[in-house]
Amino acid sequence: MRLASFHLVVAASLLTAGATFAQAPGGPPAAVGVVKAQPTAVTETSDFVGRVQAVDRVSLTARVTAFLDQRLFTEGAEVQQGDLLYRLERAPYETAVAQQEGTVAEVSARLANANIQLVRAQQLLATPAGQRSNVDDALANQRSLAGQLAVAQAQLQQAKINLAYTEIKAPVAGKISRGAVTPGNVVSPSSGPLASIVSQNPMYVVFPVASRTLTALQKRYADKGGTSGVAVHLKLPDGSAFKETGTIDYIDPTVSPTTDTIVVRARIPNPPLRPAEPGKPVDRPLIDGAFVAVTVEGIQPVMALGIPRVAVLSDQQGDYVYVIGEGNKAEQRRIKLGQSTPAVAVIAEGLKEGDTVISEGIQRVRPGAVVAPSPATPSAPLSPAGR
């Protein structure tokens, strides 16, 4: 009997508690910040991964065989076009030039005498003492010596060229590598590169673009000047933004059959980090061969329906936002994003101008829940590219 009474008391207590919970009020509506979907000036951007590439790259090699007398540069420094970098042993080649100059002088003298003999033989031909065979012999000798003079002059020119090759000068401006051969060694055309020069300013940045993406970019900027209507910005390997702006100057004419991408090249300035000092290494932000993040950005903003990017949520079905419906109820709305930026979400489908979108307090919102909307706190302005 006592056990039955206990069960009745417990059951009655549970029913009373359940009724109390069921009748408890739901609390005040969640406070949220809202914005209107409206046309917004958006600078369109596209991100890629690129590699820095020098505009000019030269390997210095010996053009003649000789002892390496002097190295006249500081390894790792920047050199200017025409700077003397190496001097090879000159004496053998100076001797060759002098020898050829003597040969030219000798043949020139013999040719001058042959010209005199030819004129004399032609004059005697009009007299009884003249013979046609003498004129023919003089003419043949004169022409032979003229040919020998041409050969001697060519050999002299070659000797002078070889002498000039004993001085190796910088064909382009740029940073020079360490020397591969030290003075005192014999170098020749088969010795391999003595050093290399990599140009420094400006630099190229090459980056592959999917053929479909490139087609979309070309259509997007067709009426804005094409590739001249975009600017190229970089982020360095450490994540910092590079302050200089580049321009696209080349697009490969073929698509890679293995990756379905097209190589695009941009040209961008690469100024020194600090004033250059003669003969000392110069540090610049962009280094040949380095990977960088590339952002292709439209120069002219476009008008598009936009909302703050923080208002966009995602799940397995895609992107969505919460909008304020009738009776201040939160409604989930599926959307399709267009070309957006880190600050602004461009809406391609799902919203219309004037829709009220929740951008603050989203974590307190559930579909169908009544909310208390108020204007969202203005956010600090961000650049379109998020830099």
Q: CB of 293 within 8 A of CB of 387? A: no
Summarised one tens digit per residue, pLDDT across range 163-200 is 999 999 999 999 999 999 999 899 999 989 999 999 99
Please give the Cα distance from 324 to 355 (Å, whole number).
Answer: 8
Average pLDDT over the chain, rounded to whole?
83
Banded pLDDT at 16 (limits 50, 70, 90): very low
Residues in the chain: 387
Q: Is the pLDDT of residue 230 over 70?
A: yes
Indicate whether 94 pLDDT > 80.
yes
Q: Measuring CA to CA, how many Å separate 280 from each of 20, 70, 124, 271, 273?
A: 84, 19, 75, 16, 13
Max Cα distance, the chain (Å): 175
Residue 25's pLDDT band, with cuts at 50, 70 and 90, is very low
Rounded Cα distance between 263 and 209, Å, is 6
The span from the CA of 284 to the CA of 76, in Å, is: 12
- Predicted confidence (pLDDT) per residue in 337-368, tens digit: 887 777 788 888 888 888 899 988 888 888 88
Q: How far is CA 63 from the centre of its chain?
A: 33
- Please state whether the peptide bond connecting residue 202 to the residue before it is cis, i.e. omega within 30 degrees of 0: yes
Token pair for residue 273?
């980090």
CA 123 – CA 53 distance, rounded (Å): 73
Please report which confidence band the pLDDT of residue 379 belongs to, taking 50, 70 and 90 as the band edges. Answer: low
pLDDT tens, residue by residue, 251-284: 999 998 888 899 999 999 999 888 777 767 788 9
304 — phi, psi (to 5°)?
A: -150, 155
CA dihedral 84, 186, 162, 171 (to 10 degrees): -30
For the CA atoms of the chain, what is the radius of gyration? Answer: 42
Q: Are strands 195-198 and 38-42 parallel, antiparallel or unpaired?
A: unpaired
Where does residue 213 rank: exposed (0-12), middle (13-18), buried (19+ CB within 10 A)?
Answer: middle
The answer to whether residue 304 scores a pLDDT higher than 90 is no
- Look at residue 160 and tell me whether its pLDDT is greater than 70: yes
Distances in Å between the Cα of 31 and the Cα atoms of 186, 200, 333, 370, 371 are: 84, 57, 19, 10, 6
Q: Which of 64, 291, 35 is nearest to 163 (CA)?
A: 64
Pairwise pLDDT comparison (227 vs 369), residue with the higher score: 369
User: Residue 11: what pLDDT?
Assistant: 42
Query: Which domains does the chain possess?
Result: 30-42+304-375 (2.40.420.20), 46-55+199-302 (2.40.30.170), 61-88+168-198 (2.40.50.100), 91-164 (1.10.287)
